[in-house]
Structure 1
Amino acid sequence: MPARLSPAVRQYLLITGNYWAFTLTDGALRMLVVLHFHQLGYGPLQIAMLFLFYEIFGVVTNLVGGWLGARIGLNRTMNVGLALQVAALAMLLVPASWLVVPWVMAAQALSGVAKDLNKMSAKSSIKLLVPAARQGALFRWVAALTGSKNALKGVGFFMGGALLTTLGFRPSILIMAAGLALVWIASLVWLKRDLGKAQARPKFRDILSKSGAINLLSAARLFLFGARDVWFVVALPVFLSGVLGWDFWQVGGFMASWVIGYGIVQSLAPYFTTRGRGSVPAGRAAFGWAAALAVVPAAMALLLVQGASAQPVLLGGLALFGLLFAVNSSLHSYLIVSHAKADGVSLDVGFYYMANALGRLLGTVLSGWVYQTAGIEACLAISAVFVAMAAVISIGLPRQPVSAATPA
């Protein structure tokens, strides 16, 4: 790494690089599994069930992983996450006859553990690399990490669809496993050894947050991400492929474009949510942006029920949804890192992302079940209700931003 960069910046770049590489494989794997098993004749609910353990183990991992990161250091939890993702990919290299639902669910469970160890480690580390007085810089660093990660997840979606079309399922998995193994080896060599280890070794009971602000943020995050995944995970790709007749390139390309655009907006969120130089947002902003977002899926569901053409409603509505959701997500990501206590930061961040994983789990299950029983209109209606609940919960968040004078 360039010697002229400060140690904090070098660590930030390494953490971001790890997160980017992991995210590419995670996005591509998600698209490969959805499209490959849809091609094999699996129904929407069956496909959703393939990701059930992915989300369940994400809930557990964030709780336990936050405690583990505070005890052994975030460098180790990040490297364990990378290694587990390589193992999860390797599980899918078995002969095609072995790729039955329980085996794929087990591989997805391992991938879920890996993903949330990696994300919790990356988000927690930023708190430790930015001085407490520089809240504006913290917001920009968190937004850049989160936004770039999601843009690359979109690239991963496209990569998954393209690889499946050109190379097939097994060669695609092999390429991703080999590439991520190289990243893991580099991280073992260069990532700082004592990053994020708490001064006082936390007890296991400390995994539950005692902060009112973090509990409210966590509840709002649960409904926010449930609102996205209730239509995004299964309902949308299956609708585009099965109802509108799109091929794999088109499905992967659209979802990739959506997530890339969403990631770019996330990176720019500080410019949308701050009113003046040096200012940072607080709870009032979280309520306002969530309230605006709730209108979009409600309007889309209403238009589809009234018989409007599905393709323009989905393409236009989901573009607007992505823009507003990106600002909400980036704002929440800053608020949790800002409010988390510095010593043992991964405890608070892990608890918060446990709620995030619980929301994804709820959205994933509902995405397959509701779409199969009631259609995409019902998925969008539930999305609107969930976002409205996130907005109501956000009313209770602190009205004043965190500052150096009032440490979290």
Structure 2
Amino acid sequence: MPAALRHYLTITGNYWLFTLTDGAIRMLVVLHFYQLGYSPFAIAMLFLFYEFFGIVTNLVGGWLGARIGLNRTMQIGTGLQVLALLMLTVPDPWLSVAYVMTAQALSGIAKDLNKMSAKAGVKLVARESNAQLFRWVAWITGSKNALKGAGFFLGAVLLSVAGFQGAMGWLAGMLVIGLVMTLTLPGGFGAIRERKGFSSMFSREPLINWLAAARIFLFAARDVWFVVALPVFLVSIGWDFHWVGAYLALWVIGYGVVQSLAPRLLGGRRPAAPTTADGPTGRTATVWSFALTLPLVAILLAFALGWTDGLVISLGLAFFGVVFAINSATHSYLILRYSAEEKASMNVGFYYAANATGRLVGTVLSGLSYQWIGMTGSIGFALLFVVLAGGLSLQLVRLESAVDDGPR
């Protein structure tokens, strides 16, 4: 087996196991603490440090990966996730808000170290062409999200079968396998010889800066109604925990499948999905960002007509998921295409810091908007953020045109 493919499979395998635990933790915390009587806003606050430290970790992690190697940052991230899981195996009386937030902070650091290492690692092993880069990054991203959906379902099942603490123990044991896998990666994988200062983490490249800005609002648009508002809404209209976990799992699995198929879906030169011969462009990101307004407007109109049952939200979310998946796959490819190989880990770290910022904004507003206004308020914020993401993506079109029209 070629070394590049072997390393890609190792990175992907670890990322899969990590993602299963990450999805399971999210579902376990939401359902367990809702069961204990926490309000939607209080549940959202449990994830505050998880998202905040994701921002910091991506900035520091990209710089650290360039210095010590992506194999080491992946190992550190996986080890921290095992520690965070073990922290949550303590009895319920110990699970204060501050304690759970601390465990979630460790989990957030772990998740973003692992994600940055995996995505930047793909840039290093997929050197043959942009087409291969798009296929490999779409596959690792899509399969990861499919497994995150499986993690939602796994978390709901483990909560019923093993209880909150038992579930965390099972997940920690499973992730140790992923940690062992990373030991096969070569030492110094992705490290660069030139020692750059930390200030080099902040991108000075306009394409990357505008893409990161669009990413903030794209992910805020998803999480503002998906993280807290949606599961609480479904429980409030009579769905039990198993059905909520299963539905969210199926949604994320389907979302991941669409991401994996994005290279095929965007393979033709259609007006609705403009691409170059070997990958999507800034115009692709813009078109698909504005397309996200359609399912959100449809749901709001249905709610205005009094159709507030689970079927309406389920159909709207399914359409939203397909369009969002193509958006996300496009963004994940563009950040790698815009990055030179020697700055891949730092640019990816900067970009995913923006991603984490969007998740933080979306998570906090998910609980707050639902508690104050209800599901309509959460979807209204999502619509606003989608429009902002599309508007910012227009700058990618302008900058790409300037590069194409410049001196040759």
> Corresponding residue for 2:315?
316
Deviations 1:356-389 (CA, angstroms, capped at 9, x unpaired): 0000000000000000000001111110110111
1:126: Cα distance to partner? Answer: 0.7
Match of 1:49 among 41, 45, 48: 45
SS of equivalent residue, structure 1 residue 275: coil
Is contact 1:196-1:344 (8 Å) kept?
Answer: no
1:183: Cα distance to partner? Answer: 2.0
> Corresponding residue for 1:77?
73
Matched, 1:164 2:159: yes
Alignment of 1:183-332 (within 5 A): 183-188=178-183, 190-242=184-236, 244-275=237-268, 278-332=277-331
**Amino-acid identity (%):** 55
1:298: Cα distance to partner? Answer: 2.2
Distance 1:269 1:339 in 2: 19
Is contact 1:305-1:377 (8 Å) kept?
Answer: no
1:181: Cα distance to partner? Answer: 1.6
Q: What is the letter of the counterpart of residue 178 of structure 1?
A: G
Distance 1:352 1:12 in 2: 21
Deviations 1:277-327 (CA, angstroms, capped at 9, x unpaired): 943111111110111112211221222123124322101100000000000
Distance 2:36 2:111 in 1: 26
SS of equivalent residue, structure 2 residue 89: coil
With 311-320 and 112-121 compared, the bigger mean Cα shift is at 311-320
Is contact 1:301-1:378 (8 Å) kept?
Answer: no
Matched, 1:86 2:77: no
> Corresponding residue for 1:60?
56
Distance 1:93 1:172 in 2: 8
Is contact 2:82-2:176 (8 Å) kept?
Answer: yes
Is contact 1:19-1:122 (8 Å) kept?
Answer: yes
Matched, 1:339 2:335: no
1:192: Cα distance to partner? Answer: 1.7
Q: Which runs of 5+ in 2 are unaligned?
A: 270-275
Q: What is the letter of the counterpart of residue 267 of structure 2?
A: T
Superposition TM-score, scaled by structure 1 size: 0.95
User: Root-mean-square deviation (CA), in Å?
Assistant: 1.6
Distance 1:387 1:163 in 2: 35
Q: What is the letter of the counterpart of residue 357 of structure 1?
A: A
Superposition TM-score, scaled by structure 2 size: 0.95
Q: Which runs of 5+ in 1 are unaligned?
A: none
Match of 2:145 among 143, 150, 154: 150
Q: What is the letter of the counterpart of residue 73 of structure 1?
A: G
Distance 1:271 1:24 in 2: 26
SS of equivalent residue, structure 1 residue 395: helix
Matched, 1:366 2:360: no
